Structure 1
Amino acid sequence: MIRYPAPQSPLDRRSLDLIDLLDAALRRTEASDGPVRLEPSQDNLTELRQFAELNSDRGLLHVTWATPSAQRQTRAQPVLFDLRRGLLGFRISLVDQRRLAELAKVSDLASLRRFSVGQGLAWPDVDVFQASGLKVSTVSGYDNLFRMLLAGRFDLFPRGVGEVFDEFDARHADMPQLAVEPRLLLAYPYPYHYYFAPSQAALAARVEKGLLEMKADGSFDAHLWRHHGAAVKRAALQKRRVLRLANPNVSDGAERDFDANLAYWLKPPPAYR
């Protein structure tokens, strides 16, 4: 039995694709390594607590997922395979619809700096926005971010293309002022990896083998478009103004991959060609 992080709330669907991909990679290796069962952790764990649990290796958590940092790689064992091919670094903002007219005037990073950004406490994106000169407000608790946005605590809540529409659809009935900003794409390198507890080296190698097999035969691409194709189409990325931000936490390799990843997601999803 392999434990992964439980969602932060009943409306939290952010990681369904990563759970599905982990299961698919493990099924690829059943013939050689045997079956294994996945289940969520018993507690809702913040990202900081997830890495603390992995580092402690108590068995309460075996795997999580995150963007890389030097600290994380000293506390857990990464599999350096980009699980979303950079998509999480292409950000569309949730906003208060009453601010849309003001935001329509944003044309570059300089004019964006007039507005503040909301992020979760200790999220690595905080470093990205601050490095670009943006004011960032941090909030403890995932669901609180939506409430604080509409309370005027900050102006934009940037979300990954694969996240923003699920989050909007799940909350709009109860939060009718919530809106998806229609013009901008905040873009920065943002690879995403699985991280394993130190005792799980064999599991990490098994998952990496399955992922590489999926990449080689095209099933990883199929997974990406199956989970994210509808959101990519709905985002109309080709019509958005791209504002490029640097990510101080990633390697030169991730910077080099950025343009290729952006071009990959700008092409029409296979299902819609």
Structure 2
Amino acid sequence: MLKTKLILMLGGLLLGISVQAATWNIVYPRPMSEQDDRTRYPVELLTLALEHTGVNFKLSASDRIMLQGKAINQLKSSREINVLWSMTDNQREEDLLPIRIPIYKGLIGLRLPLMKPGGNSDFSPVKDLESLLHFKPISGRDWPDTKILQANGFDVVTAEDYEELFVALEHKRGDFLPRSVVEIWHEIGLYQSQHSFDVDANLALYYPTATYFFVNRKNVVLARLIESGLEKIIANGKFDELFLFEHQAMLDNANLPQRQILRLNNPILPPLTPLDRNELWYQIK
């Protein structure tokens, strides 16, 4: 009996060592280009979280560029990638396994109007949501944002992919492009050589939503690993430290206290969204 116990203990110890020694190869979708800065913060956050788990890991981009719809299908089929980050909705949480910690602390739902000078985008008469409904927003065809805007009464002009959004705005197919406060300033710089865009200084839209890391539904172990790392950096303050380092200047640029913030309903917000955990959300005044 004692010999058996010793063998089991030794086997468990060796198994633990082998798990620690193994390298997790974690692959995320390659961005549109080297100038696509939207990937940097999620990769930094994921790296920081994994470093706090104590496992060996290699984090790398996929061999080819993937648009969001393609990346979701590939992850669902467990091909090419094993993690991505995306705004959540009920369908995505059904198809994939979410780690329900909003990596942008909800700021992906705080939208500023990007406009084309000379277009039909004078928002000065706008005093409420009803008066804003006279303007047509531009949004991605398969994005959760589009469903949210439509549910709130907007006549949405849709674009097939990310870059087509800015082409549509340039050609005034819609009146404004609502972009997240954590994206819009980089996009202004990225496209200023091709297009002339302005950010409206007085208006913002807000709807509750979250961007999560997602994995394949069968990859529960990886999901738990990422979640444990994220919870550790939330507890020790490293999450907020990185978040503010990356986004404080963007929030300052937005000048939120001087903006009228129109709040939209989000009927596709999944019921398990952790709205009761205040530490996970940036508090919009």
TM-score exceeds 0.5: yes
Equivalent residue for 2:94, pick from 68, 74, 84? 74
Q: Which has the higher helix share?
A: 1
> Does residue 241 of the first structure (1) align with residue 260 of the second (2)?
yes
The CA RMSD over aligned residues, in Å, is 2.1
Q: Which amino acid aligns with 1:11?
A: Q
- Aligned partners of 1:9 and 1:143 also within 8 Å: no
Equivalent residue for 1:38, pick from 56, 59, 62? 59
Q: Deviations over 1:146-178 (max 9, x none)?
A: 111010111111111010001001212332x31
- Aligned partners of 2:203 and 2:260 also within 8 Å: yes
TM-score normalised to structure 2 length: 0.85
**Which one has a bigger Cα radius of gyration?**
2
For 2:183 and 2:110, locate their aligned partners in 1 and report how far apart those are by CA, in whole Å: 10
> Does residue 7 of the first structure (1) align with residue 31 of the second (2)?
yes
Q: Give the % identical residues.
A: 30
TM-score normalised to structure 1 length: 0.89
Equivalent residue for 2:202, pick from 183, 193, 200? 183
Q: Deviations over 1:101-142 (max 9, x none)?
A: 622221211111111011112011001110111110111121
For 1:201 and 1:261, locate their aligned partners in 2 and report how far apart those are by CA, in whole Å: 22
Per the alignment, residue 244 of structure 2 pairs with 225
Q: Deviations over 1:167-198 (max 9, x none)?
A: 001212332x3111111110000111111023
For 1:28 and 1:74, locate their aligned partners in 2 and report how far apart those are by CA, in whole Å: 28
Q: Which amino acid aligns with 1:229?
A: Q
Q: How far apart are 1:9 and its partner, in Å? A: 3.2
Per the alignment, residue 110 of structure 2 pairs with 90
Q: Which amino acid aligns with 1:57?
A: S
Q: Figure out how many residues of one structure are paired with residues of the other and give that number.
A: 261
Cα 1:23/1:255, change in 2 over 3 Å: closer
Give the gaps of 5 or more residues in structure 1.
267-273
- Aligned partners of 1:2 and 1:37 also within 8 Å: yes
Cα 1:255/1:249, change in 2 over 3 Å: farther
Per the alignment, residue 181 of structure 2 pairs with 161
Per the alignment, residue 145 of structure 1 pairs with 165
Secondary structure, in 3 states, of the residue corresponding to 1:153?
coil
Cα 1:89/1:138, change in 2 over 3 Å: same
- Aligned partners of 2:102 and 2:280 also within 8 Å: no
Q: Deviations over 1:233-265 (max 9, x none)?
A: 010011100100011111456595699887635
For 1:248 and 1:25, locate their aligned partners in 2 and report how far apart those are by CA, in whole Å: 31
- Aligned partners of 2:105 and 2:281 also within 8 Å: no
